[in-house]
Structure 1
């Protein structure tokens, strides 16, 4: 007997309505039936943009649990996410940001059943950063789709930004998940069954978002737990500054190659396993990491 489909839990920021629509379609195709989302909009987001996104959600048949506005403190997402998880109740929770499209080697029900059979209370994922063929941070057309606009996938998050590329993609309701969904203290995912988290962050407008993040965290307008998020943003901005405003697709460290949401990347299980088992925090102030 297959498990009940998980409840999807997400905090959604000011993304384009077309991305939200593609995201919902993707997870419905995976078998998700219950979406618990909340919107959070920092002060700079125009009212019209908020209203358009809320209307798009309703058109998709999803009534947001809530909408908040104000500073995007580092703890904001975690607090809002945990409130949604409490509301979702018992069972499995699927955790995904609005720019994360998870890809599994088997149907979701089978993935969950296998985790339960093997005694795992979480399922892990690994970020696969998606970018345009030119490395430019471009917009995209809904009719063409995300795969066409961002055909390359690679390991930008940890090999350039020195960020944690690991994700907890599925967790039992009583498992505590850390901020950013990167780990679940006391629980290790099965390293041989890591899902691909296609990360469509590197779109038009992200550089302005990163500059705003650096400014607000640096001045204390937004409160941070550690300098990690600000440092990661700074590394990306420095990189594109050195490369004429684009991501260097030819750098072998990033291992960019053509990938698709329709099929798992070639040799993914061994590639993902080698990364998630070897990854360690980059700097001393992250030494409270435990896994």
Structure 2
């Protein structure tokens, strides 16, 4: 099985536990994790998370603190990939839960047979039933707490919905692991259930805008700020909720089932989506 590579921010310990358990069920046994804590994160957040990480997976191989510069995620990810060694790697952030249609060895074998060294996915943003940015109850789990899924990132925020979910160690990954230059996946995209829209995300997005605008956190391009601003504007316009009954459709989904509409919807999304300011791909 491929080792998992993940860069993790100051998330709740329960999310880390759910993340680890999800990938263990897929057969992952080796976890290469890096933790980054920006300056504003107190020890009351860091200490429980690191304690939980040690209990689940041993001490993290990389612990980073300071400004959350845009390039830092990729830097830490690549350090982890180097430590993971040769072969295929599973790439995921702590709020990304992949739902593969076949066992991982079959996914990798199919990619190799097709002549590519990557497997691709698409972000399926998970939200609460009423669109509120609520906390979740580990007793009932993420699936029940956030029962709806839609293309919020790609359609509302204009963000890149593509993700490289499996990659051979010989290929490079772009920022955010959205693509691998020269190695385009050929598979039907794997659903990447994206549990980002939880309580506290508003403050996180506003902080990104403020600190990147000030230059305290260095950026490579304006996408982080513009996507955050779009989400905050949307929340303000809809009573601090994601408008689940609006023009962007949201459907009941779960981690165990790939909906029948998924391949067509992904193909339509990827056919229409373009990076801001770009022409046809």
> Shorter-chain TM-score category?
over 0.9
- Other-structure match for 1:155: 151
- Other-structure match for 1:19: 15
Matched, 1:221 2:209: no
Is the CA contact 2:150–2:250 (under 8 Å) kept in the aligned structure 1?
Answer: yes
CA RMSD of aligned residues (A): 1.3
Deviation (angstroms), 1:148:
0.8
Deviation (angstroms), 1:278:
3.4
Match of 2:250 among 233, 244, 256: 256
Q: In the aligned structure 1, how far is the partner of 2:7 from the partner of 2:156? A: 25
Deviations 1:93-146 (A, max 9, x none): 111000000011111111111111111100000000000001000001101100
Q: 1:83 to 1:290 in 2, by over 3 A?
A: farther
Q: In the aligned structure 2, how far is the partner of 1:158 from the partner of 1:227? A: 16
Give the TM-score normalised by structure 1.
0.94
Q: In the aligned structure 2, how far is the partner of 1:228 from the partner of 1:198? A: 21
Deviation (angstroms), 1:290:
9.8
Q: Report how many residues are paired.
A: 281
Matched, 1:61 2:57: yes
Q: 1:290 to 1:38 in 2, by over 3 A?
A: farther
Give the TM-score normalised by structure 2.
0.97
- Other-structure match for 2:239: 244
Q: In the aligned structure 2, how far is the partner of 1:176 from the partner of 1:123? A: 13
Deviations 1:68-117 (A, max 9, x none): 10000000101111111111110101110000000111111111111111
Match of 1:122 among 118, 121, 143: 118
Is the CA contact 2:154–2:269 (under 8 Å) kept in the aligned structure 1?
Answer: no
Match of 1:186 among 182, 204, 208: 182
Matched, 1:107 2:80: no
Is the CA contact 1:185–1:290 (under 8 Å) kept in the aligned structure 2?
Answer: no
Matched, 1:145 2:141: yes
Unpaired runs of at least 5, structure 2: none
Of 70-79 and 52-61, more deviation after overlay is shown by: 52-61
